[in-house]
Chains A and B, each alone.
Chain A
Amino acid sequence: MLNSMNIKLRLGAAAAAALALLAGGCATPERPAADTAALVDAYVAQSFAAGPGQDLTRLQQDQTQIDCTAARAKPSEALAEVIRARETKNIAYPEDGKLMGDWKAGRKIFDDGFGYRIGSFIPSNPNVARGGNCYACHEGEKTEAAWGNMGSTLQNYGKTRGQSEPIVKYTYEKIYNSRAYNACSQMPRLGHNKILSPRQVADLTAYLLSPDSPINK
Chain B
Amino acid sequence: MLHSHPRRAWRALLLAAIAATGASAWSQATDPAVAAYRLALADKDGNPGLLIIDKGEGLFKAAAGPKKVSLEKCDFGLGPGVLKGAYAQLPRWFEDTQRVQDLESRLVTCMTTLQGRDAKQVKTLPFANETKNQSNTETEAIAAYVAAQSDGFKLAMPLKHPKEVESLKVGEALYWRQHGPMDFSCATCHAADGKRIRLQALFNGLNKEHTDNVMSSWPTYRVSHNAVRTMQHRMWDCHWQMRLPDIEYGSPATVALISYLTKQAEGAKLDLPGMRR
Contacts and interface: CB of A to CB of B under 8 A. Distances in A.
Interface of A: 27-28, 32, 36-37, 39-40, 43-44, 46-49, 53-56, 58-61, 64-65, 68-69, 72-73, 116-122, 135-137, 145-150, 179, 186, 188-189, 193-195
Contacts of A48: 244-248, 251, 253
A116 B253 contact: no
Given A43-B252, A72-B176, A147-B198, A186 B170 contact: no
A182 B254 CA distance: 30
A137 B197 contact: yes
Interface of B: 124-125, 127, 129, 131, 165-166, 168-170, 172-174, 176-185, 187-189, 194-200, 236, 240-241, 243-248, 251-254, 256
Given A116-B181, A148-B196, A188-B184, A56 B245 contact: yes
A47 B102 CA distance: 14
Contacts, number: 142
A28 B125 CA distance: 33
Contacts of B252: 43, 46-47
A116 B243 contact: yes
Contacts of B165: 27
Contact of B195 (A119, A146, A150): A150
B198 A58 contact: no
Nearest to A144: B198
Contacts of A73: 176, 178, 185, 187-188
A186 B169 contact: no
B175 to A, nearest CB: 9
B127 A188 contact: no
